[in-house]
Amino acid sequence: MAKADPVIVPVENLSKDPYRSLVAYPDPEDSSIESRIRQLTDLGISSLEFQGALRIGRLSILGKGVVGLVFTGYSGGDRVAVKIRRV
């Protein structure tokens, strides 16, 4: 199986499909998505990278645990791990 190319999405675009379904997983309501985007911005996260071994729908992520999903993020030019709690 071919490996998918990473998709880097600016935080302000995370409210769009298909990204919104993972930002507020598993129940992407508008209020939850807006809150998550605000929190990411407040933490200095500029974008998320959808890549990794785990696929949810059409997107790949680093991991999925009991309480959250793990993404690659970018903050000040550095790659960082971003864990977003499930709704």
Query: Taking the domains of the chain in order of start, what are their residue ranges?
Result: 7-85
pLDDT tens sequence across 27-50: 899 999 999 999 999 999 999 999
State both tokens at 19.
């990204």
**DSSP states of 8-72 as a string?**
EEEGGGTTSTTTHHHHTTT---HHHHHHHHHHHHHTT--EEEE-SSEEETTEEESEE-SSEEEEE
- Tens of pLDDT, residues 41-79: 999 999 999 999 999 999 999 999 999 999 999 999 999
pTM (predicted TM-score): 0.91
